[in-house]
Structure 1
Amino acid sequence: MNHWSGYLLLIAKGAQMTVELTVLGIALALVAAFVAGLARVSRFSAVRALAIAYIEFFRGTSVFVQLFWAYFVLPMAGFDVTPLQAGVLALGLNVGAYAAEVVRGAVQAVSGDQRQACVALNLSRYQAMRHVILPQALPLMIPTFGNNAIELLKGTAVVSLISLGDMTFQAQVVRSQTGNTLIPFTTILALYFVMSWLITFGMRRLERRVSFGLDGMRR
């Protein structure tokens, strides 16, 4: 038992790194999603074009390639990044590209009557977006945002390719040192499931909270 306690502690440290990657990656993904998603509905064609270029590039290329590009190519261009920073950049920008389309779709799903009411009240585009459209669009985004967050969590396993000590990397270390596959990989399987469940639980509570009182506004 003492023999395995040290290895399980190693996996626990990997879990801490996975949580850090997930939290930072989600934060970056949310920023990228709202910036690119709102840019997609901009009046300016140049802004829309930039947003489309970002979305299509990161959705159309492999996260593995993006990770290696961030870790190995950016330093060649003069941008030194740590393995953690490279992982956050690749995961956050990749998932943010998918989430940007969620933002765009939710904003465009708000009924035309609401937009006409904003015009009748002489609200600026910024005021209409902030006070009318986004409060109604946000509950539509949250379920898919939850799925995106879980995908990002599971995607953190790719950082083991650049020797960042996440759960998958530490499980591989334990396997190589003990020759046992069952215990380390069953452990991280359970940890991934628990983390995913916590994200789902949190998103459901957030969805109920932001949806409160909006039924009357939508009518």
Structure 2
Amino acid sequence: MSDVLDSYPLLLRGAWTTVQITLYGAAFALVLALLFGLAGASRSAALRAVNRIYVEFFRGVAALVLMYWFFYALPLLGLRFTPIAAAVLAIGLNYGAYGAEVVRGSIKAVPRAQWEAACALNFTAGQRMRRVLLPQATALMLPPFGNLLIELMKATAGVSLVSIADLTFRAKQIQASTGQTAATFAVILVIYFVIAQALQVLVRLAERRTERMLGRRPQARPIPIAATTGEVMAP
């Protein structure tokens, strides 16, 4: 174990690479999720068709296969990507498809009365979406987005297969040099867990900020009816 812990500079560099790919992939996936999620919630049949094609295709293809395609297959056709670009494209396209369904479902889950009230105020379609529907839908999106973010982070463990020196890649190097398999992978297990918890904390902070922006507060516990009549409730 001491030999593994002495290799902490390698592990830290690998962890930082993992965090970078996670953030880049998450940002790309978020943009795709918003674009195609809004298309899926549109009243236009053509935009809804575009949403279905994107979601069904990229949700049905493994991120690792996409990564191999971008890094190994497309160069044969003259399109070359750096390892990190290939990883971010593959992960972003794959998880963006899942995120698009979250966005579409969250918008659809906003009560229709909110849409009707916006129409009564003569809001344009853009104003209805920007001022009424999206703020409320965001509060519904964040919990599933948090789950997808952690899943995306765990999916980055596969980027070592396209020669990216992430946390898993560094662990394999340390395992090969020290011969301590159990200790090495126990350490990176803890590191992945710490990264996941840090991401979850950020999502929870975003949830609380969104709730405050919407003016929502935790509901007070109801007072028992008997308490208002002076009766003593049994514990």
- Cα distance per residue 1:44-82 (max 9 Å; x no partner): 222211111111111111112111111122323332210
| CA-to-aligned-CA distance 1:132-182 (integer Å, 9 cap, x gap) | 000000010001100000000000001111121110111011111211112
Give me the whole-angstrom Cα distance separating, in 1, the residues matched to 2:3 and 2:41.
57
Alignment of 1:105-124 (within 5 A): 105-124=105-124
Query: Quick check: 1:157 aligned with 2:157?
Result: yes
CA distance in 1, matches of 2:192, 2:50: 35
Q: Distance in 1 between matches of 2:4 and 2:47?
A: 55
Aligned to 1:11: 11
Residue 214 of structure 1: how far off its partner (Å): 2.5
Specify which structure has the higher proportion of helix.
1
CA RMSD between the two structures: 1.6
Percent of matched pairs sharing the same residue: 46
CA drift of 1:26 comes to 0.6
| Farther off after superposition, 207-216 or 187-196 | 207-216
Partner Cα distance (1:2, 1:192) in 2: 20
Partner of 2:33: 33
1:204 aligns with 2:201: no
TM-score, normalised to structure 1's length?
0.93
Measured after TM superposition, the shift of residue 5 of structure 1 is 5.7
Q: Aligned residue for 1:53? A: 53
Aligned residues: 216
3-state SS of paired residue (2:7):
helix
User: Is the contact made by 2:95 and 2:152 (CA closer than 8 Å) also made in structure 1?
Assistant: yes
Post-superposition Cα deviations, 1:4-28, rounded to whole Å, max 9, x if no partner, equal 5653211211111101100101100
Structure 2: which 5+ runs fail to align? 217-235
Deviation at 1:112, TM superposition (A): 0.7
SS in 2 for 1:42: coil
Q: What one-letter code is carried by the residue in structure 1 that aligns with 2:163?
A: S
Amino acid at match of 1:77: L
| 2:4–2:174 Cα contact (<8 Å) kept | no
**1:123-162 equivalent positions in 2, closer than 5 A:** 123-162=123-162
Aligned-partner residue type, residue 33 of structure 2: A
Report what 1:73 is aligned to: 73
TM-score (normalised: structure 2) = 0.87
Rate the CA distance shift 1:33–1:75 in 2: closer, same or farther, 3 A.
Answer: same
Change (3 A) 1:2 1:116: closer
Shift of 1:183: 2.3
Distance, in Å, in 1 between the alignment partners of 2:102 and 2:2 is 48
CA distance in 1, matches of 2:145, 2:3: 41
